[in-house]
Structure 1
Amino acid sequence: MTRDYSNFLPRGAYAAGSHAKLDPLQALGWHPFFAQQISVDDLSSTPPVRIVEVHRSGLHALGDDIDTVLPPRADVTVGDWLMLDPSHPRSSRVLERTSLIKRRAPGTDRQEQLIAANIDTAFIVTSCNQDFKVARLERYAALAFEARITPVIVVTKTDLVPDPQSYIDAARAVSDMIDVVALDARGDAPRTELTPWCKPGKTVAFLGSSGVGKSTLANALLESQSIETRTIREDDAKGRHTTTRRELHAMPNGCLILDTPGMRELQLTDAADGINDLFADIQDLAARCRFNDCQHETEPGCAVLEAVDEGILDAHRLGRWRKLMAEDAFNSASLAERRSRDKAFGKMVRGVKKIKDVRR
């Protein structure tokens, strides 16, 4: 009997955050944005599945009465929705994403690495110890803004310092558009403080270094100890890699949680808009400069430099902005050049193939 998939298409009765029981796809984060990209015929022949786990050997996908492993693909990441082609799984269509977190992959070839897709909220986790670095928080925040994901900074291990307020104030100074939550991850605080962002059908991700408490926070929300945790090293407060893969976990209320491994290196690429959103204060000042192409170095009439001289803008913040913009420009240009080379090579291959076909 052919399954009736019409209830998975857009309709007025569906509302995100509804208290009604979620059907299997909605429980995986399915909502009208994805439904609008397909038809009933698509659903019948290629049912939707979501990638809930990424391994080197394959992609774990779940759907309505579907639990399967697909071949690994560089263009697919955890959180993606695919229209599963049972006959040719590697050719399954990837649906347009609501958001995509990516970075320049470690190494010298400057490839892009996809981190996660279709995330609604990114909890940027740091702790009240040597791990706390404003520059790192700004990197994660720029990444979230570029992906159009709601960033929330979570300051953990507040119980380890006499007065955590200095850490909280520094986190709030990152951007006035980002909420900051300070808590002890081991108690009930995660469930009470983070619940506003963890709604049924939503997907949240924990981002940050190893050892800051990402897995502990995830376990608190999951109301289980399903994710392994480990203590940090006492000498330098650095964490040990416990989470080794990106995997979605379901909360009791129907929210999905992505726990990610700590990233030792976070190089931005194609993130200029996210950086500008994060440093909106500098962008506002730059609009007042005398010259439209002002580089904010030594130019006369530079409103940015004047703000630094007057103590309105912190010189260190300006320096971090310059560093991120330069890094992003370098990585993005390298990627653009590689894409151009790939396009030219593909054109050459097609040309050679066409000549061979004509000769035959």
Structure 2
Amino acid sequence: MVRDYSAFLPGGIPRRREPTALESLGWGPVFARQIDADALTATPPVRVVAVHRSGLQVAGDGIDETIPPGPEATVGDWLLLDRARPRSSQVLERKSLIKRRAPGTGREVQLIAANIDTVFVVTSCNTDFNIARLERYVALAFDADIEPVIVLTKADLAKDPASYVTAAQAISERVLVVALDARGEEPVQALADWCRPGRTVAFIGSSGVGKSTLTNALLGAQAIATQGIREDDAKGRHTTTRRELHATPGGCLVLDTPGMRELQLTDAAEGIADVFEDIKALAADCRFTDCQHETEPGCAVRTAMEDGSLDPARITRWRKLQAEDAFNSASLAERREKDRAFGKLVRSAMKAKSDRTR
């Protein structure tokens, strides 16, 4: 047997380099290319690790402080910290951004998280499981250029966990599905491929599906409080109240997000198209390029529904997301113009009716 002594010789196998303070926070070439050496000293890069009502908690090389609100930033963003005027700190170009239409009747866009590498869409193997909601979350991830992974919790309590896995896998061929028990060591092993050093992952989903439990499992500690679900309807109770990055022992950063009661998509047309790429492929074979898949002859989409290869319910969900996104994405000016045009049409019709009755 030939022995390898190279590790003991000069120039042998090098020791693994310890990550710098910035690298441990997720710093990489995408951000380094946006700043020069002089700016590094004058405005040191920091990452937003939590968002409070009082301001942004940022961390960097020897920096851990809260700055006043001001930069239009969210958790996960990288800033060039302006010590003299922290409100004017520059937000570096993001490699990914999760956003939604803010809850309520307004038209504002709410930033959820930035610079995420993988998003774990979490749901339970019980009555919380909802295909339409999962499609919505996956579309959100696709549109943000983030790799989505569906995580099914409480698989150990389900009578038939395989049926939940099969249903989740039907959402998109591009999305992996992992079923597990959120407690114990299983999440660390099952999610290890995505939770490597220097990467940032996020758990999103409804309340009570196990996001905080999964985060605690990766952290190896009960750092985040958890609560059980209600027995009557399997609905969860809010545990996490803010978005905050946590560092795991393995060097991965984990974001646990509050459960979202309302997730309205906006500017997510590409993400929706990616989720429903099977419908897009079918539509390419329709006789007419502007086919609405309703009564037109030669419609490949309707043919697929009729022969059972395409679930009509999937078409309904696709239409709903498209209409929602189009409405939420339209600018206020465009909406006003449409409202004025519609109002003019109504007034014209009413006038014509009045003239006929005279």
TM-score (norm 1): 0.88
Query: Aligned match of 1:91 in 58, 68, 88?
Result: 88
Q: Is the 8 A contact 1:80 1:95 kept in 2?
A: yes
Alpha-carbon separation, structure 2, partners of 1:335 and 1:283: 29
2:38 is equivalent to residue 41 of structure 1: yes
1:137 to 134, 138, 144: 134
Amino acid corresponding to residue 213 of structure 2 in structure 1: T
Shift of 1:312: 1.0
2:6 corresponds to? none
> Residues 70 and 88 of structure 2 are in contact (CA less than 8 Å); yes or no, is this contact kept in structure 1?
no
Distance 1:83 1:336, change over 3 A: farther
Alpha-carbon separation, structure 2, partners of 1:87 and 1:254 = 32
Q: Compared with structure 1, are the counterparts of its residues 179 and 303 closer, same or farther at alpha carbon in structure 2 (3 Å cutoff)?
A: same
Indicate which of 264, 268, 271 corresponds to 1:267. Answer: 264
- Cα RMSD after superposing both structures: 1.5
Superposed displacement of residue 337, structure 1: 4.0
Correspondent of 1:179 among 176, 191, 202: 176
Q: Which amino acid aligns with 2:65?
A: T
Distance 1:19 1:265 in 2: 45
Contact in 1 for aligned 2:101/2:264 (Cα 8 Å): yes
- Give the % identical residues: 69
Q: Secondary structure at the match of 1:195?
A: coil
Return the offset for 1:19. Answer: 5.1
Contact kept in structure 2, 1:290 and 1:301, CA below 8 Å: yes
Offset of 1:335 from its aligned partner?
5.5
Looking at structure 1, the residues matched to 66 and 207 of structure 2 have their Cα atoms a distance apart, in angstroms, of 28
User: Using the alignment, how far apart are the partners of 2:269 and 2:259 within structure 1?
Assistant: 23
Q: Tell me the residue number matched to 2:29.
A: 32
Q: Name which of 302, 310, 316 aligns with 1:319.
A: 316
Does 1:253 pair with 2:266? no
**Deviation digits for residues 69-118 of structure 1, max 9, x if unmatched?**
11124721000000000000000000000000000001111110000000
Amino acid at match of 1:53: A
Q: 2:229 aligns with which of 208, 228, 232?
A: 232
Name which of 294, 298, 304 aligns with 1:297.
294
Counterpart mapping for 1:42-191 below 5 A:
42-73=39-70, 75-191=72-188
CA distance in 2, matches of 1:339, 1:48: 41
What do the CA deviations read for 1:270-302 (whole angstroms, capped 9, x no partner)? 000000011110000011111111111211111
Greater mean deviation of Cα atoms: 166-175 or 243-252: 166-175
Amino acid at match of 2:135: E
Aligned residue pairs total 323
In structure 2, how many angstroms separate the alpha carbons of the residues matched to 1:52 and 1:126? 25
Is 1:111–1:335's contact at 8 Å kept on the other side of the alignment?
no
Please list every run of 5 or more consecutive structure 1 residues that lacks an aligned counterpart in the other structure. Answer: 1-17, 341-360
Residue 336 (structure 1) shift: 6.9
After superposition, give the CA deviation of every residue in 1:214-269 in whole Å (9 maximum; x if it has no partner): 00001001101001101111111111110000000001111000000000000000
Partner amino acid, structure 1, of 2:190 = E
- Could you tell me which runs of 5 or more consecutive residues in structure 2 were left unpaired when the two chains were aligned: 1-14, 338-358
Q: 1:257 to 1:19 in 2, by over 3 A?
A: farther
Q: Which residue of 2 aligns with 1:210?
A: 207
Return the index of the structure with the highest Cα Rg.
2
Taking structure 1 as reference, are residues 338 and 205 closer, same or farther at Cα in structure 2, changes over 3 Å only?
farther
Report the residue type matching 1:66 in the other structure: I
